[in-house]
Amino acid sequence: MENDVNLCDSFEDIFISELDSDGFGDIKCCNHCSEEFMENWPMSFDRISDIYRLEVDGFYENSRLSGVYSKEEFYYNLASLKCPRCNNKLENYFWAFDFNFDSFEDLELEFQYLKNDINETPFLVLKNNLANVVYKLLEKLSKSINSEPIEIQLFRGRILNTDEVTKTDFLAPPKKHTKEGRYNHFGVPVIYAANNDKTCFNELREPENNLHIAEFKIKESLKLLNLNDINKYGENELLEAMVMSSVISSKAQDNSNHKPEYYFSRFISDCCKYLKFDGIIYPSVQIGKGENYVFFNTKLLTEDNLIKYEKYDYKTTANTVYNS
Ligand SMILES: [Zn+2]
C-alpha cells in the first residue's frame, strides 16, 4: 500500500473506509458548514447518540491512515477531499454519523425549495412535488392507522402572572386569542400537551417564574400520527428525515408573531386533520426527547378531566399543589 501514497484517487476510499471501520459513519458537515447544518437538521444532534466531531489531525493519528501515509502525504492528499455537503476542503474538524435515510444533501436542498414555496405561496404548497409526496404518504398512513383506546395523563403549561389561577386558564384559548403555533394556524385553537411536566417546562423555554402546570386525563378512542416513533409504521425515510430537519422541527423563537418556520408543520397538521386524524404526537424540539401532543378537538380537555394544577418550581421537584 505504501507504493500508492501519491494516488489521490485511492486516498478518499481509504479515508472513508477508515471512518466506516471505526464506526464513525459518513461525513455530514465540516467546520465551514456545521452551523448551517445544525440549523437545517436541528434534531440530529439531540436524537442521534453515535455522533462524532473528529479533528482531522487526531483522526490521522488514531486511524490506520498514519500507517499508510506520512503526515506530509496525508495533508497533500487531504487537499483533494471535499466536504460532501459544502464542497469545501476538509480541514480542522468535521462531523461524522449516520442518518437512517440516504442522500441527506439532496433532501436538504429539496427541503429548502419546499420552505421557499410555502413561504411565498402557502395555499399552493400542494403544487410543490415534495409536499404532494408527503400528503400521499400521510394519506396512505391514515388508511393503516386506526383509532385506538387511549388512557393517558398529560400536562399542559401556562405562564400566568397571577396567583388567581383557575382551571379555565388551562383550557384551549378562544379563537380570537389563538396565536399561530407549530401545528395550528392563527385563530384555530388546538390543545398542546406533553407527557410530563419537565417537557412543558422545556417547551416553554424554561421559565423561572410563573409557570403553572395542569395535569389532565384523556380516556378516548383516538387516531394519532406518532412522529416520535415513525419506524413503527415501516419504511418512512422521508418522514423521519422531516422530523430531523428544520422543515418540521425548527427551533423557532417563540417571542415572534411571525413564524414562517412553522409553515410546513402546519401543512402536516392540515393534512392530518383532513385525513381524520385526531392529533399528532411529536418530539420536543427543545431537547429532542419527551413527547408532545397536539389534539385538533379542543373539547378533549375540559374542567372535568383536569385533575389538578400547580405552580412549577424548576429548582425543586416538590411543587405546591393549590387544588386537587
Ligand atoms: Zn462542509
Residue spans of the domains in the chain: they are: 11-98, 123-321
The alpha carbon of 114 and the centre of ligand 1 are apart by a number of angstroms equal to: 22
* 37 CA from centroid of ligand 1 (Å): 8
d(CA 242, ligand 1 centre) in Å: 21
The cell for 258 is 411571525
For residue 125, the CA-to-ligand 1 centroid distance in Å is 30
pLDDT value of position 188: 96
The alpha carbon of 95 and the centre of ligand 1 are apart by a number of angstroms equal to 9
Give the Å distance between the CA of 140 and the centre of ligand 1.
36
Q: Cα(288) to centroid of ligand 1, in Å?
A: 24
| Beta strand ranges found along the chain (DSSP E) | 26-30, 52-55, 93-97, 148-159, 191-194, 211-222, 224-226, 279-283, 291-295, 306-311, 320-323
**Ligand 1 centre and the CA of 171: distance in Å?**
46
Distance 88 CA to ligand 1 centre (A): 6
What pLDDT score does 253 carry?
66
How do strand 224-226 and strand 279-283 relate by DSSP bridges? parallel
69 Cα: distance to centroid of ligand 1 (angstroms): 24
Architecture field, domain 123-321: Alpha-Beta Complex (3.90)
What predicted TM-score, i.e. pTM, was given to this entire model? 0.88
The CA 133 to ligand 1 mean position distance, Å, reads 29
State how far the Cα of 220 lies from the Cα of 202, in Å rounded to an integer.
27
Q: Is the dihedral of CA 289, 293, 294, 298 positive or negative?
A: negative
Can you tell me the distance from the alpha carbon of 226 to that of 219, in angstroms, rounded to the nearest whole number?
Answer: 18
Ligand 1 centroid – CA 216 distance (Å): 46
Ligand 1 centroid from CA 17, angstroms: 19
Q: Find the Cα–Cα–Cα–Cα dihedral 199, 205, 208, 213, rounded to 10°.
A: -40
CA of 80 to the centre of ligand 1 (A): 14
Quick check: helix, strand or coil at residue 213?
Answer: strand
pLDDT at residue 163, as a whole number: 77
pLDDT tens track of the chain, all 324 residues? 444 444 445 889 999 999 998 889 999 999 999 999 999 999 998 888 889 999 999 999 999 899 889 999 999 999 989 999 999 999 899 999 999 898 999 999 999 999 999 999 999 999 999 999 999 999 999 999 999 999 999 999 998 888 789 999 999 999 999 988 999 999 999 999 999 888 888 888 888 888 999 999 999 999 999 999 888 888 789 999 999 999 999 887 666 777 888 999 999 999 999 999 999 999 988 766 679 999 999 999 999 999 999 888 877 654 445 444
Q: Kindly state the cell numbers that stand for 321.
A: 399543589
Separation of 23 CA from ligand 1 center, angstroms? 20
